[in-house]
Structure formats: C-alpha cells, structure tokens
C-alpha cells in the first residue's frame, strides 16, 4: 500500500476477537510483521457498527468465527458486501465454516505470525 510521496504505510488490520489475551497476541504478531492494528473489537454489535460507520479506518480484518458464542457470519457478510477483505480465525478449521465461506482465507487457531501474514496477503490479493 502506498503512502504520501512514496512513503510506505502499514496495512491497517481490524481484529475482531473476544479473548483479550488472544487479541493482544495477534496485535503483537501483526505489529512485529509490519502491519498496523486499526482497532480491536470483542463484540459483534461493535464490529458491525465499525464496519457500517468506519470501514475506511481499516484495510483488512481478522474475524474470530465464534465471538462470545455468536457466529461472526453477519459481520463477514457486511464486509463482503462492502468489498472489504477479511480472514477467518477458528479453532475448528476451514471445514467447520458454512460452505459459502470455505473459500475465504482461514487461520487455524493457534496460528503463528507467518500464517497470519500469508492469510492476510491472500485476502488482500483475492479478486472481489
């Protein structure tokens, strides 16, 4: 992503994760890899409001599939409708996703920085 006068700007990532420790670990891993964390949200209503009102504040999102017992798929649909790339994060693997979402980049929890970077790059480079 380019910046002003050729200065490279970090890709801004929205993290939607209900486990605070996991969110902090993901944030650290992304910052160490050269990304910028735009925001960390832990509740589906907050994440939906962010997508509706502030979708220009981030470039890509990492979505915990099970957010406090609620499936993340309404947010995934809102992101897809807005043309925003995203990655699913789940402890159950891509096979546990509904068929409509199985083609999306998915991180198997626990994941490492290398896997996160590859998944984010896949999401950012995927055709709409």
**Residues whose CB falls within 8 Å of the CB of residue 64, separated by 6 or more in sequence, listed in order:** 16, 17, 18, 19, 22, 72, 89, 90
Comparing 34-38, 67-71, 76-80, 82-86, which segment has the lowest mean pLDDT?
67-71
Asked if residue 97 lies in contact with residue 71, where contact means CB atoms within 8 angstroms, the answer is no
Q: What is the pTM of this model?
A: 0.91
Binned at pLDDT 50, 70 and 90, residue 1 comes out as: very low
Residue 4 has pLDDT above 50, yes or no: no
- In the chain, the domains with their CATH numbers are 19-125 (3.40.50.2300)
**Residues whose CB falls within 8 Å of the CB of residue 21, separated by 6 or more in sequence, listed in order:** none
């Amino acid at each position: 992503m380019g910046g002003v006068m050729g200065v490279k700007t970090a890709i801004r990532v929205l993290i939607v994760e209900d486990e605070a420790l996991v969110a902090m670990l993901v944030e650290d891993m992304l910052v160490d890899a050269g990304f910028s964390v735009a925001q960390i949200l832990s509740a589906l209503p907050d994440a939906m409001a962010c997508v509706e009102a502030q979708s220009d504040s981030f470039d890509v999102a990492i979505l915990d599939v099970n957010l406090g017992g609620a499936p993340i798929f309404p947010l995934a649909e809102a992101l897809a409708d807005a043309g925003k790339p995203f990655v699913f994060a789940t402890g159950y693997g891509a096979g546990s996703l509904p068929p409509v979402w199985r083609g999306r980049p998915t991180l198997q929890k626990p994941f490492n920085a290398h896997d996160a970077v590859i998944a984010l790059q896949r999401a950012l480079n995927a055709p709409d």
